Amino acid sequence: MSDLKITPLTELHRALGAKMVPFAGYLMPVQYPMGIMKEHLHTRQKAGLFDVSHMGQVILRGDSFEAVAKAFERLVPMDVLGLPQGRQRYGLFTNDAGGIEDDLMFANRGDHLFVVVNAACKDADIARLRAALEPDIAVEHLDDRALIALQGPLAETALETLVPGVAAMRFMDVATFSYRGADLWISRSGYTGEDGYEISIPEAVTASFASELMDHPDVEPIGLGARDSLRLEGGLCLYGHDIDAGTRPLEAGLGWAIQKVRRPGGAREGGFPGAGAVFGDLNGAAPRKRVGLRPDGRAPMREGVDLFASPEGGEPIGRITSGGFGPSVGGPVAMGYVSREHVGVDTRIFGELRGKRMPVTITSLPFVAANFKR
């Protein structure tokens, strides 16, 4: 593990008894002594603190925000130019076939665009940005800031004790606050389906800030294991599993992220990689669709399980891309892709486990309703 990168919170994770594992080139905590099940439920009931410093943080700066936004729109099918200052939006990098190269968050911070990308795609994303935007737009990779997330229904009250004013933020607001003289870039967002915040913070004060947060009686550290089960219950995609370079936005159920202004007939329609392929799916022509799945019984069905229309015979009609036990649901949950003609809520299909087909019910997503502060 000597070649793995570490985050500014690595020593704190070890002091807290975390089990550390390799993830996206980093040494990361998968769970703490509390255990994945209790960590998951604690986040749903109170507040969980996550280290997400492995994510990539990038600033895009040009002559004006308008110039940056128009340039960035050449890479994503989202309305960047219309994003108000102090607001954040979900986005996708697409390729020439309309596939998803990565999903990301971008924020209008006044004189620049702040972009957060996935850890495993970070190097490729930064190279993509530099190749497409420089020299007109400066691409600055921030390697001196950590990123942490505080998630759960009591996240607001816990963070407000340290950072007065955050309680007034709405879902997808972004703002700058101060902690011990350091600037905190805070967004009201996250990856659990719960209310919460993501906080970009200078490395030098990250450990002290995290420790002070965990002094609050409602805050516990949460590892990657519970992060995965929380996002699965929330119906949220994991890049490299539920979405990848061969998955188009409409197949993945992410059409909502493409604003009207970028669609056919919009003021700035197209102009991003693979626009024709993406627009071809808008009329419901995508050959498959991401769906929620509830296996019968208590045994989880995990990534890679083939799905069939009948208990015997026939070719696969889909495959599970994420699956496990949902602690809040109290049973196994999964997501996957099913061919369009077989998609329908409450449709019974079958997943093949060790040569035996077991019943699965197609359900709507998410499994646990979102708890964002609108």
Query: Is 1's pLDDT higher than 80?
Result: no
**Tens digits of per-residue pLDDT, 224-242?**
999 999 999 999 999 999 9
CATH class of domain segment(s) 10-52+143-233: alpha beta
Q: Determine the angle formed by the axes of helices 65-72 and 122-133, rounding to 10 degrees.
A: 110
Q: What's the pLDDT band for 167 if we cut at 50, 70, 90?
A: very high
Q: What's the pLDDT band for 216 if we cut at 50, 70, 90?
A: very high
Query: Is 304's pLDDT higher than 80?
Result: yes
Residue 68: half-sphere exposure toward Cβ, Cα within 13 Å: 23
Written as six digits, the tokens of 140 are 């600055």
- Tokens 């309680």 correspond to 167
Report, in angstroms and rounded to the nearest whole number, the Rg of the chain calculated over CA atoms: 21
Strand pairing report for 288-295 and 331-339:
antiparallel
Written as six digits, the tokens of 276 are 């024709």
DSSP structure class, residue 368: S
Cβ 336 vs Cβ 288: under 8 Å? no
Q: What's the pLDDT band for 45 if we cut at 50, 70, 90?
A: very high
326 Cβ contact list (under 8 Å, min separation 6) = 229, 232, 233, 332, 333, 367, 368
pLDDT in the model for residue 285? 83
Query: Is 2's pLDDT higher than 80?
Result: no
The identity of residue 350, as a single letter, is F
- Tokens 């994770």 correspond to 13
What average pLDDT does the segment 55-80 reach? 98
Q: What's the pLDDT band for 374 if we cut at 50, 70, 90?
A: confident
pLDDT in the model for residue 344? 87
> For the whole prediction, is pTM greater than 0.85?
yes
pLDDT in the model for residue 283? 84
**Tens digits of per-residue pLDDT, 179-200?**
999 999 999 999 999 999 999 9
H or E element that contains 21: strand 19-23
Measure the CA–CA gap between 300 and 90, rounded to whole angstroms: 30
What average pLDDT does the segment 261-282 reach? 97
**Tens digits of per-residue pLDDT, 93-151?**
999 999 999 999 999 999 999 999 999 999 999 999 999 999 999 999 999 999 999 99
Residues β-bridged to residue 48: 151, 220
Query: Is 284's pLDDT higher than 90?
Result: no
Mean pLDDT (the chain) is 97
Written as six digits, the tokens of 270 are 């197209």
Domain 287-374 in CATH 2.40.30.110? yes
Residue 36: half-sphere exposure toward Cβ, Cα within 13 Å: 14
Q: Find, among 288, 292, 307, 191, the residue nearest to 248 by Cα.
A: 288
Domain layout of the chain by residue ranges: 10-52+143-233, 287-374
Fold match flag (10-52+143-233 vs 287-374): no
**Percent over 90 (pLDDT), the chain:** 97
